[in-house]
Structure 1
Amino acid sequence: MNDRTQPTTTKAPQPTDVVMQMVMGAWVSQSISTLTRLDVPDRLKDHGPQSVEELTQTLSVDAKPEFLERLLRACSSIGLFNEGADGRFGITPLSEVLTSDSPVSLKKLTEVFGASWWQLWGGLEDALRTGQSQPIALFGMNYWEYCLSNPKEMADFAAAMKANSLNSMRGVLEHCDFSQIKKVVDVGGGAGHLAIALVKQYPHLQAVVLDLPELMPIAQQQIQGEDENITQRLKLVGGDMFQAVPEADVYILKHIMHDWDDAQCLQILKNCRQSMTGDGRLLCVDAVLPPMGNTQGTPAKFLDVDMIVFGGGKERTEEQWRELYATAGFELIAITPLQDNFGTSIVEGKKPEHQA
């Protein structure tokens, strides 16, 4: 009899197992979003491990205890929470990033994924077949109009974009030198988070936030309480980037270009080119897709599909970026990858030497 211990062979997952895990990802996404909207991660972080009775009765989580327990057990099975034999659930490093005060909080982004965006993605098949924007199909208006007509959606979207932009904003501050720049315009700058960070880091810098007039009250609220030295060097301009942009040395378009088709992007870039002063620079902060045949870049590629759902925009390869820049009168001089949620890069352009 051979009593040697035989090596354990790990059985490779079957294709059906892998595909089922992928398909059930939609359930996982909605489960995480729902628990986050109910503030469960925040409650567990603030109060420590809790039973579902404590969560619902003492900490005001709006759910039936027996159903909440079933959902928490499912999410604990993927590492989102700790599950004790005593029926208490606790936070883990995964659910910590879903809390409000996490420095890398995904709370608001996760919440919008499971709310209106969840509805819109249900129309993916129709979008592929017809090319129709799903916000128009579902709401009767494009997504920006929907946000403007629904203050809560606008507030949630702004908070989600702030959270999503934190890493890309840090990337701009880390990789781009504005020490010799006099004035920068953040085109489509929303609530002004990047512009505020720039004028804080560079005491000489003037910054302009350009966005829709309807967004200016949100930006104004954002700068309230800032030091006078900051607010004096920060200007909020309500306008239309398709019509004109303020004069500046550098233009930043962070998570803007992917929302629009090539013709619309060209109009924005040509406006920047026309108003650019001196040896200016153009900084587009967006995804750069790998070339055909390269199967990496999953987050950016699914974000590209998201643009199909929302209608009109797309992510671009390096070759497509170069062509877009050249047509608008810029030379692409550098692509700097950033570590963020969607594989974003800084795509830097300048005026060609003979045109400067």
Structure 2
Amino acid sequence: MGAETTLAGLADLMTPVALRAAVAIGLFEAVGERAVPLPVLAAELDVDVAALDRLVRFLRARDLLRIDADGNVLLTAVSEPLGRPGNWSARLNWAGAAGHLDRRFVEDLLPMLRAGRTDRDIWAELAADPALDASFDELMNTRADEWIDAVAASDSWSAYDRVLDLGGGRGHLVAALLTARPRLRGAVIERPGPAAAARTRLASYGERVEVVVGDLREPLPVTSTGPDAYVLAHILHDWDDENARIILSRAAAAAGSSGRVVVIERVLGGGADELREATHQDLRLFVLFGGRERTRQEFADLGAAAGLRLLDDTATATNRHLLTFALT
């Protein structure tokens, strides 16, 4: 493959946008396991048949669709996961939070490179649009499935009787911990929308769990469980160092001298494949939130600025680390 061909492939925006548009109209799920005539597919999706024909031919040339001898549309091995409702649909839907963030990245990368910071507040944008907020919450929780089981299986949790997940979404991590450790008690602090979903998800655990409405940018509310581990899972990477320090400081104040602050994040510094994933996420976080991925030393320094010392760093199979801090 020549350099120009490689560059053209790296620079191409049409394929990812066309793919996301196809997900947004429900194309792959509509095809599913069937072989569907194009006119039938267009009618089911309520789109223009000629326009759909162009999109289908474009996706066929990129091994995302097949057309059989009778002109029917089918999925390929590459697109088969998109034919089922689930993680990929949420992650690629151009009409939901994923598409909103993708468009923001395209719009904001060049200004961020020039200014080194963003004046946008994604959290305010989400709060102002309930549908977008709900889509963002769903997106975050579909991605949580990638790492929660490995994190919940860590022996590090055996040191705790009560765990409070700060910004814990719909309660996926707490549910996994309570299932794995029947004697553990848990709590979740979240914004109103995710908190309501967490209550539903965690209802079967009864008195072992509590859900509290709160905002990590404010002093932490008091919970009846009196946790001895305050968990920040994929929270700090959404913030610049100053805001991350403030969040850590609030967790440290709540934990006190006997509690622990457990940070769950990717940690930079691995091999080539890991570096590719981490740098992808690092640039995305920087442009969208002003956040960043960090090295172990950067987490230690961040903790020190919040009055904490790093006690332990436990890696999991998914390159999520459990970084345990205590007051200095």
TM-score of the aligned structures, taking structure 2 as reference length: 0.86
- Distance, in Å, in 1 between the alignment partners of 2:57 and 2:197 is 39
Gaps of 5+ in 1: 1-12, 137-141
Worse-superposed segment, 315-324 or 272-281: 272-281
Q: 1:131 to 1:278 in 2, by over 3 A?
A: closer
Q: 1:296 to 1:211 in 2, by over 3 A?
A: closer
Question: How far apart are residue 239 of structure 1 and its match?
Answer: 1.8
Aligned to 2:196: 217
Aligned to 1:22: 10
1:48 maps to amino acid: R
Q: Quick one: which of 110, 121, 131 aligns to 1:152?
A: 131
Identical-residue share of aligned pairs (%): 23
Q: Is the 8 A contact 2:97 2:139 kept in 1?
A: no
Bigger radius of gyration: 1
3-state SS of 2:146 partner: helix
Aligned to 2:220: 244
RMSD after superposition? 2.7
Aligned pairs for 1:132-151 (under 5 A) are 132-133=117-118, 136=120, 142-151=121-130
Q: Is the 8 A contact 1:322 1:331 kept in 2?
A: yes
Question: How far apart are residue 70 of structure 1 and its match?
Answer: 2.3
Q: 1:215 to 1:322 in 2, by over 3 A?
A: same
Alignment of 1:184 onto 2:169: no
Aligned pairs for 1:157-168 (under 5 A) are 157-168=136-147
Question: How far apart are residue 158 of structure 1 and its match?
Answer: 0.9
Q: Quick one: which of 292, 300, 304 aligns to 1:326?
A: 304
Gaps of 5+ in 2: none
Question: How far apart are residue 190 of structure 1 and its match?
Answer: 1.7
2:207 maps to amino acid: Q
Q: 1:18 to 1:324 in 2, by over 3 A?
A: same
Aligned to 1:6: none
Deviations 1:221-245 (A, max 9, x none): 444xx42xx0321111112334236
Aligned to 2:108: 123
Aligned to 1:10: none
Alignment of 1:69 onto 2:53: yes
Aligned to 1:172: 151
- Distance, in Å, in 1 between the alignment partners of 2:211 and 2:97 is 29
Q: Is the 8 A contact 2:122 2:289 kept in 1?
A: no
2:321 maps to amino acid: I
Q: Is the 8 A contact 1:199 1:207 kept in 2?
A: yes
Question: How far apart are residue 19 of structure 1 and its match?
Answer: 0.8
1:38 maps to amino acid: I
1:19 maps to amino acid: L
3-state SS of 2:228 partner: strand
Q: Quick one: which of 22, 27, 39 aligns to 1:53?
A: 39
Q: 1:78 to 1:347 in 2, by over 3 A?
A: farther
Q: Is the 8 A contact 1:34 1:114 kept in 2?
A: no
1:321 maps to amino acid: F
- Distance, in Å, in 2 between the alignment partners of 1:100 and 1:79 is 18
TM-score of the aligned structures, taking structure 1 as reference length: 0.80
3-state SS of 1:72 partner: helix
3-state SS of 1:178 partner: helix
Question: How far apart are residue 31 of structure 1 and its match?
Answer: 1.5
Q: Is the 8 A contact 2:262 2:324 kept in 1?
A: yes
1:56 maps to amino acid: A
3-state SS of 2:66 partner: strand
